[in-house]
């Protein structure tokens, strides 16, 4: 009886562990996509409305769903320091390139002329888009691998127990 229960529980458990790894990859992909959309909105607001950085933070982070953007919306005082603090609190799970590109916004937004800001923000958008593409390809590769290996490992463990 115990062996039968163990034989059912172990494959399910290994499959759930594998599925959790896939969910973490998917969360990172969704977060990167949200940050790309946000940076793109910031670029549009900068080009067409000449909005200040605090207004951009308030407006552009409204539609973010993959993480809590309250830290970005509450930036009202020292933009550079608060932006970096908000990045450390909320988007630290990103891959290094995407994180450094997004955190780097604090270095130039609101500090240089409009043309320099738009060029650097366009570059940041390109970096985030490339990161999205890398995450999508990584998710596609690892999704099948993790789920197959999770089920296979569970069956092997059951065969060893029996």
| Domain presence at residue 145 | no
Q: What is the mean pLDDT of the chain?
A: 82
| Domain presence at residue 161 | no
| Domain presence at residue 20 | no
Looking at residues 114-119, what average pLDDT do you find? 86
| Domain presence at residue 120 | yes
% of residues, the chain, pLDDT over 90 = 15
Q: Answer whether residue 35 shows pLDDT above 80.
A: yes
What pTM was estimated for this model as a whole? 0.80
DSSP string for residues in 63-106: T--SS--HHHHT--S-HHHHHHHHHHHHSTTS-HHHHHHHHTHH
| Domain presence at residue 24 | no
Taken in order 102, 69, 76, 55, is the CA torsion positive or negative? positive
| Domain presence at residue 78 | yes
Would residue 62 be called left, alpha or beta, if left means φ above 0 and alpha means ψ between -120 and 50 degrees? alpha
pLDDT at 158: 65
9 versus 137: which is more confidently predicted? 137
| Structural domains counted in the chain | 1
| Domain presence at residue 87 | yes
Integer Cα distance of 117 and 105 in angstroms? 9
Structural domain boundaries enclosing 67: 31-137
| Domain presence at residue 18 | no
Q: Answer whether residue 1 shows pLDDT above 80.
A: no
């Amino acid at each position: 009886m115990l062996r039968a229960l163990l034989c059912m529980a172990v494959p399910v458990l290994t499959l759930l562990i594998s599925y959790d790894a896939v969910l973490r990859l998917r969360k990172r992909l969704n977060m990167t996509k949200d940050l790309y959309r946000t940076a793109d909105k910031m670029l549009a607001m900068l080009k067409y409305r000449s909005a200040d950085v605090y207004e951009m933070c308030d407006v552009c982070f409204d539609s973010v769903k993959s993480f809590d953007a309250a830290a970005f919306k509450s930036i009202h005082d020292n933009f550079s320091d608060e932006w970096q603090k908000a990045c450390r609190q909320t988007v630290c799970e990103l891959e290094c390139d995407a994180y450094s590109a997004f955190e780097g916004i604090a270095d130039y937004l609101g500090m240089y002329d409009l043309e320099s800001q738009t060029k650097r923000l366009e570059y940041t958008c390109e970096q985030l888009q490339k990161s999205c593409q890398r995450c999508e390809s990584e998710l596609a590769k690892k999704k099948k691998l993790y789920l197959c290996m999770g089920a296979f490992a569970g069956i092997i463990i059951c065969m060893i127990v029996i």
